[in-house]
Amino acid sequence: MERQVMIEPDVHDESSEPQRPPAQPVAGKPDDGFTGPLLAHDASDEMRSRWESIQTRFVDDPSSAVRDADELVSSAIKRLSETFANERANLERQWSQGKDASTEDLRLALRRYRAFFQRLLAV
């Protein structure tokens, strides 16, 4: 008789949570470029597909599945880190281009930093 092992989703398992739509600009406010998804949809879809494969393989090869899960999580963290580092560099480049930045330029930079910071805390 073949033994089946079920991996129950925990409260943080994305497959058990409803999909969130990408963040939308607030009506009447310009899109600051820092409100969209953290990863491109194709990258997110690829990672979800890899996760489903890993979870399915757990029954036949638990050790390998856990090792692959570790690698996938590490890869996801690395991609998020790169995304935030690139966005921060863009922000810094925007406000630090000259010493004569207007108050309006600095206000817009602060709004972008706020949006960036809110996304960072939402992870």
Tens-place pLDDT, residues 5-45? 445 544 344 444 444 444 444 444 444 555 667 778 899 89
pTM: 0.58
Domain containing residue 87: 39-122
Considering the domain boundaries, does residue 93 fall inside one? yes
In 10 A of CB 7, how many CB atoms?
13
Longest dimension (CA), the chain: 76
* Contact present, 68 and 54 (Cβ < 8 Å): yes
Q: What is the pLDDT of residue 72?
A: 95
* Contact present, 112 and 33 (Cβ < 8 Å): yes
Considering the domain boundaries, does residue 79 fall inside one? yes
Considering the domain boundaries, does residue 96 fall inside one? yes
How many structural domains compose the chain? 1
Residue that is written with structure tokens 């863009």 in the block: 90
